[in-house]
């Protein structure tokens, strides 16, 4: 994979046999995407053979008939602070230089896998925000980071590694402070996590309906959307009622909840991969019964993804990368494979990974769609978009505006 970063003066033509705009395919034609000033100028479709590259003057030409152009991927749910092995930040709390190296490795893995932006689901130490700022200052090279900072949770509730516990009266003040500090969205832990030993059990809900609605309102007053960690149908129903922007995980949600989400435009990031990989993590250490629980849990999630797609829910691809067993970057391709297993078509999978993901991450004006006038965030890939193996395959180029060209750096604090 070659990363092409376009400065204002660069002109580029990308040729392909097919193009996915973010919603649908333009196929069976020779296509040229003309790029200058870091933006898509126009998209040329023609039925004739492409003119050989040599005829284009002062302009680089890449691609070919056997390739497909798609928008860059966006991972809607990651934890840059976590290493995919151990939740404990204490074990990861290492000297700054080493941490910076590790963050660079994680960021590079996103780029290699075609991911141009990630939405960070937070950590207690504020590492996600620091990482975003280092990318912005070009001290680290990586995807654009939309950071949540520290997650909101109550004293004694689930998620001590994601944020400090707060008393009910403290939330409005803390959201205001985080907003001033420059977070991109609010992350809240509404429920606990899914049990791997008892099917259908989720640790308890931390907030009541009134508290959650107030939090969503205060966040909105500061121009922030809310990404809500919620499994169990009870937690998901609370989130829908409160008007969160996205439900994260959503294991064991009901069909009625999916209908309400479709109606109210609440997005869903199902993060199947952190559960699906559990059986591979410790194949000998688990009881057969527990393996069955894990299998049943993620199979149910796949069925609900298919149902959500039929009902018109906005579904986005997010991995929970950094959680046990989920690698940064690579986890995204496993999630795409799981979406395929759920029975989604290539178009539906790509929409979830690009246009929907951009909307969920708050990047709908920048990424997720290939159209004239939009910043040039493109992947040039081999025509095989089956996502059958869950392994990275076929990305030839990632194209994006140079981080200092304005299109990226102006975005974080918009």
Per CB under 5 A, residues contacting Zn ion are: 121, 320
Is-contact 382 69, C-beta < 8 A?
A: no
Distance CA 346, CA 207 (A): 38
Smallest distance, Zn ion to C-beta of residue 313, A: 19
Smallest distance, Zn ion to C-beta of residue 121, A: 4
**Closer residue to Zn ion (CB): 234 or 320:** 320
Q: Who's near 221: CB < 8 A, 6+ residues apart?
A: none
Smallest distance, Zn ion to C-beta of residue 135, A: 20
**Closer residue to Zn ion (CB): 37 or 320:** 320
**Closer residue to Zn ion (CB): 79 or 340:** 79
Strand partners, 375: 39
Alpha-carbon dihedral sign for residues 113, 118, 123, 126:
positive
Cα→Cα distances 173→118, 210, 218, 262, 273, Å: 27, 17, 9, 32, 35
Smallest distance, Zn ion to C-beta of residue 194, A: 12
Distance CA 344, CA 16 (A): 24
Is-contact 233 257, C-beta < 8 A?
A: yes
Number of neighbouring beta carbons within 10 Å of residue 208 = 10
**Closer residue to Zn ion (CB): 121 or 192:** 121
**Closer residue to Zn ion (CB): 68 or 148:** 148
**Closer residue to Zn ion (CB): 121 or 331:** 121
Smallest distance, Zn ion to C-beta of residue 321, A: 9
Unique residue bearing structure tokens 């392909």: 16
Smallest distance, Zn ion to C-beta of residue 207, A: 17
């Amino acid at each position: 994979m070659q990363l092409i970063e376009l400065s204002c003066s660069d002109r580029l033509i990308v040729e392909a046999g097919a193009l996915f705009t973010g919603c649908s395919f333009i196929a069976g034609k020779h296509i040229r995407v003309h790029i200058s000033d870091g933006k898509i100028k126009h998209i040329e479709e023609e039925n004739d053979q492409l003119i050989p590259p040599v005829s284009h003057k002062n302009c680089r030409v890449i691609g070919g008939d056997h390739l497909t152009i798609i928008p860059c991927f966006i991972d809607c749910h990651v934890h840059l602070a976590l290493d995919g092995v151990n939740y404990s930040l204490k074990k990861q709390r290492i000297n700054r230089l080493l941490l910076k190296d590790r963050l660079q490795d994680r960021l590079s893995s996103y780029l290699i896998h075609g991911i141009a932006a990630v939405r960070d689901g937070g950590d207690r130490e504020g590492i996600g925000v620091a990482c975003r700022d280092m990318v912005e200052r070009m001290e680290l090279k990586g995807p654009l980071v939309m950071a949540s900072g520290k997650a909101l949770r109550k004293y004694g509730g689930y998620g001590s590694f994601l944020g400090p516990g707060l008393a009910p009266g403290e939330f409005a003040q803390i959201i205001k402070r985080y907003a001033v500090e420059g977070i991109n969205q609010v992350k809240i832990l509404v429920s606990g996590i899914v049990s791997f030993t008892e099917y259908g059990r989720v640790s308890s809900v931390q907030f009541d309906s009134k508290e959650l609605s107030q939090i969503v309102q205060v966040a909105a007053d500061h121009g922030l959307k809310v990404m809500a960690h919620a499994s169990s149908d009870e937690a998901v129903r609370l989130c829908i009622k409160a008007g969160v922007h996205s439900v994260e995980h959503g294991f064991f949600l009901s069909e009625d909840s999916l209908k309400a989400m479709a109606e109210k435009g609440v997005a869903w990031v199902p993060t199947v991969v952190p559960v699906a990989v559990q059986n591979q993590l410790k194949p000998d250490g688990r009881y057969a019964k527990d393996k069955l629980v894990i299998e049943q849990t993620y199979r149910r999630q796949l069925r609900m993804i298919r149902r959500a797609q039929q009902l018109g829910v906005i579904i986005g691809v997010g991995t929970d990368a950094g959680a046990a067993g989920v690698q940064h970057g690579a986890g995204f391709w496993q999630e795409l494979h799981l979406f395929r297993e759920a029975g989604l078509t290539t178009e539906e999978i790509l929409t979830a990974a690009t246009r929907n993901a951009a909307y969920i991450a708050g990047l709908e004006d920048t990424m997720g769609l290939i159209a004239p006038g939009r910043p040039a965030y493109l992947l040039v890939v081999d025509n095989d978009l089956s996502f059958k193996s869950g392994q990275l395959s076929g990305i030839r180029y990632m194209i994006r505006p140079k981080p200092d060209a304005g299109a990226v750096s102006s975005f974080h604090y918009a």
